[in-house]
Structure 1
Amino acid sequence: MSKPLPLLTSTTPVERADAARNREALLHAANELIEGCSVEGVTMDAVAARAGVGKGTVFRRFGSREGLMASLLDHRETVWQAAVISGPPPLGPGAPPLDRLLSFGESRMLLHLEQAALIEAAGRTWGDNEAVRGFLNLHVRVLLAELGVEGDLTYLATALLAPLAVPVLRQQLHSGMTQEQMHAGWAELVRRVVGPAPA
């Protein structure tokens, strides 16, 4: 049985309690704006007004609009990773490794499709998040190892993760593929990498 993976989102240092509360209030305000209109409607001015603080406070806390978007994603990523590590199966522990891997792909695909606008708004601030990429790659490698896959597991995991990236998913949607077709295609790729089940 594999060891639980640690949560990996960013390298932000531990905050003081009051700073953490202020940060949560600003993120809550930004989330409310997204739910009420769209990602495009989330400006630093709008977040400041919603949270009842000055715009300078928002800039000091997040640095830029991209930093704010990345912080929103970081929070959501933490929730998603927790489901992978300790949530119910098949995404979480307790299911056979192939079921977990297929569930992982479907869940990650849906997450990226739901958050595509937010991911794009975060730009390189989120795209360069090596901690998240490391978590995803490690999780897939662990499952591939449990399935008895041989070879360069880091490279194979990278190849399996590539179709789940937002630009690839958007291109597939624009070409007329449905989400069901996209997941079926990814599942077929997984089965080709894993190979036939032992007799």
Structure 2
Amino acid sequence: MSSIKLNYQQTSFLTSAPDIKALPADNGIEVAFAGRSNAGKSSALNTLTRQNALARTSKTPGRTQLINTFTLAENKRLIDLPGYGFAKVPLAVKEKWQKSLSEYLEKRQSLKGLVVLMDIRHPLKDLDQQLIHWAVQSQLPVLILLTKADKLGPGARNKIVLEVRDAAMAFMGDVKVQAFSSLNKFGLPELEQTLDQWFNDDNAA
């Protein structure tokens, strides 16, 4: 069945929550974006939605300390999860992020897919792999989005995509891999296609 094409430009900010208790009602479909604090997550969300300031980009990675929720369509939401790994913040704050992240992944019923963003030059760090393992254990489909693909030539880019696809087989789950660039919109149609499939899963039922 072909997916209904969604208009990501219609996305609007809904709310920021410190933990899952403060999120909107747990119904409909959510797709979450997660990644290390310097992986280009905000830029990718802004590129996807064709909005320059929907997700705030910061010169200081790790500023996203809340779970940010965006409305895409009725009962369809995009979630911007707290960045992890890089930020120069106190350990107690990092542990709080970690807790809200794992709580969200384990308990949120409306979560139907996870986009894990990684700098294409530094893929599959420990925390990235931990996140993917969590998702696979929860039987969630995962898209590994290798960001900043414009930093490499086509040959080097394709080589890393193939290497990460090889490595991703070890997760034994529904894990796709693709390159992406917010700068030149490389990989944007493929990202939209995957999201359309996830958001339309309910319609196939």
TM-score if structure 2 supplies the norm length? 0.28
Higher Rg: 1
TM-score (norm 1): 0.29
